[in-house]
Amino acid sequence: MPNKCIEKLECTQRQMAKKIQGLPRQAANPTALTTLGWWSIRSVLLQQKLMLLWQILLLPMENIYKCIVMKRLIEYHHSDQSSMIYAASGPVALMYEAAKTINVHTTVVRSIRDGVYMHKAQWKALVKNNIQIRENSLFLASCLLYPRLNLYRSICIDICMWPWWGYCLMNPRDTPKCRTMLRLVVGESSLNRSLDGNEVVVRPICELCGVGSPLTPHHVLFNCDMLREIRTPLLYNVANSAPSALWECMESMSSVNKTEFILSGFRCKYMHEWYELYQQVLNFVVSMLNCSLLKLRNLVN
C-alpha cells in the first residue's frame, strides 16, 4: 500500500479517535490513539505482514511458496541493503523490511537455517511485544514536540486503554464527564481560557486566589483556597469510597503527584471493585473544574 494511502488512513483514524473521545480536531495527534489503546494503521499492517510471513514459513518443506520465500529471505539477509532491499518492491522484500523494522529479522533467518520454527502463537506474541515497544517509543518522542502534553505524558506512559474508558463501559452515562477529564489531561480544557466578548483569552495565572499561582490542574483540584468550600465535601466522598490503604497513600502525595495519580486511574487497569471510587473521583474532578470556570466567568463579568 502506498505511503500516501497509509497517511490518509491514519489521518482518518486519528480524527475518528478524537471524535469518540470528545477531543477537538486541533488536539495534538499523539493524544488521539494512546488512551484508546489503538495502534497506528502502519503498525497494524506491520503485524499482518509478519503473520503472513510466518504462516508461509510454517508450510510443509516441499511447498513451492515456502521455498521461494526462504530463498529470497536468505538473499536479502546477505545482500547489500542499498542495492537490493530498498530497490525491491515485491511482497517478500516488504515482509523482510517489516521484520527489520521491529528487529525480528535475525529470528526469521535463524529459524530458516535451523529448520526450527516457533509456534504461531509464540511468534504473534513476539511480534506484538516488539510493535508495542516501537509504538511506545514513537509516542513518547512525539509528545516531546508538544509542551502542553507534559501532564499527559506523565499519565499515559504506555499505549493501553485509559482506565476511565473502562469505567465508561460499565457506566455509559458518565462518558461526557470522562471526556471532560481527558480534555483536562491533554491540555484542551477551558481551564486556562475564558470568553471576553468574542475573543479567547489565555489566563496562565489563577485569578481566584490572587496569590499568583499558575492555573494548573493540581492547583484547581487541591490548592486553590477559593475552591476549598466545594473541595472539602467532595474529597470526603472520595475518602469514604476508597480503600483505606489507597487513601493513606494519596494523602502522603504532593498535589502534583496526587493529580497525576487520580487522572491516570490510580496507575492500574480498571478494577470493577472500585466502581464507587471511580464515580466519586470523576464527580470531584468535573465539579471542581465547573466551579472554577464559573467563578472565573463571574470575575470577567
pLDDT value at position 76?
86
**Contact at 8 Å (CB) between 68 and 93?**
no
- The pLDDT, as a whole number, for residue 212 is 77
Query: What is the per-residue pLDDT for 197?
Result: 40
**Terminal Cα-to-Cα distance of the chain (whole angstroms):** 56
Whole-structure pTM value: 0.85
Residue-wise over 34-60: b if at least 16 C-beta within 10 A, else e? Answer: bbbebbbbbbebbbebbbebbebbeee
What's the length of the chain?
301
Residue 160 cell numbers, joined: 493501553
Sites in the chain below the pLDDT cut of 50? 86, 194-195, 197-200
Helix or strand run (H / E) with residue 277: helix 275-300
Residue 298, all three cell numbers: 463571574
DSSP state letter for 287: H
Q: Which pLDDT score, from 0 to 100, does residue 199 have?
A: 46
Say how many CA atoms lie within 13 Å of 36 toward its Cβ: 19
Alpha carbon distance 276, 297 (integer Å): 32
pLDDT at position 292: 86
CB 272 within 8 A of CB 170: yes
pLDDT of residue 173: 94
273 vs 242: CA distance, rounded Å: 10
Residue 173, judged by CB atoms within 10 A of its CB (0-12, 13-18, 19+), counts as exposed
Q: No. of H helices and E strands in the chain?
A: 15, 2
Q: What pLDDT score does 297 carry? A: 77
| Amino acid, res. 257 | N
